[in-house]
Amino acid sequence: QVQLQESGPGLVKPSETLSLTCTVSGGSITDYYWSWIRQPPGKGLEWIGYIYYTGNTNYNPSLKSRVTISVDTSKNQFSLKLNSVTAADTAIYYCTTGGATSFDPFDIWGQGTMVTVSS
Amino acid sequence: QSVLTQPPSASGTPGQRVTISCSGSSSNIGMNYVYWFQQLPGTAPILFMYKNDQRPSGVPDRFSGSKSGTSASLAISGLRSEDEADYYCAAWDDILYAWVFGGGTRLTVL
């Protein structure tokens, strides 16, 4: 059974870049599409984007100008970079499987990691 | 403002039937499958209903999903205290070319 674990700094300063990594265990990074989803405190879910092991990506238009998702097949990991962050980017960030199409839901989720944007 | 519209709260007493609605448009619910996620307090969401009305293994048959036009519903019969959670609907949007979510519904068992 695939398991996902997010890692990265819990505190990022405004205007800087948020960087998170998701480590895949119990399966191969080539097996699925992979997504990032975030949830501001007390609020709903927002899809950030997906990546395939080939490097093919798709991003939420609302975040596209600031987001980069990449993959490292040698480490069985994929990563999220969000630049020029503000307090509005404070959220729990989840990595998940799926998200490539309407037929490809978010089956497996990591536990999530809280990122606070503050000076 | 979420693309999909859900009531912020729903409630019922043990044993009752409760329905949570999710309203969208022709570019999302109208054209694509609807998915539901359950989020218990302090935990990550889990996939709770897929392709409109399919239950993953482990989800009790007290839960059912449906879709009609640009709206979808999650129905819970025989409400139990352990059903207290936040429920989110989601669908792919063909115009935005992105996944969209509802704002979530907090279900309370009175």
- Confidence label for A117 from pLDDT (cuts 50, 70 and 90): very high
Average pLDDT over residues B60-69: 97
Look-up: residue for tokens 């429920």?
B87
Average pLDDT over residues B96-100: 95
Look-up: residue for tokens 């009790």?
B60
Report the residue count for chain A.
119
How far, in Å, CA of A7 to CA of A97, rounded?
A: 16
CA distances for A53 relative to A34, A90, B42, angstroms: 9, 28, 31
CA distances for B47 relative to A1, A63, A67, A75, A105, angstroms: 15, 24, 25, 27, 8
Say yes or no to pLDDT of B16 above 90.
Answer: yes
CA distance A107 to chain B (A): 6
Look-up: residue for tokens 């870049």?
A17
Cβ distance A60 to B98 less than 8 Å, yes or no, reads yes
Cβ distance A47 to B98 less than 8 Å, yes or no, reads yes
Searching chain B, which residue's CA lies closest to the CA of residue A49? B98
Cβ distance B33 to A46 less than 8 Å, yes or no, reads no
Say yes or no to pLDDT of B38 above 90.
Answer: yes
How far, in Å, CA of B40 to CA of A5, rounded?
A: 19
CB–CB of A69/A55 below 8 Å?
A: no
- Confidence label for A101 from pLDDT (cuts 50, 70 and 90): confident
Q: Using a CB–CB cutoff of 8 Å, tell me whether B55 touches chain A.
A: no
Which helix H or strand E contains A43, and what residues bound it? none
Q: Name the residue type at position A31.
A: D
Say yes or no to pLDDT of B70 above 90.
Answer: yes
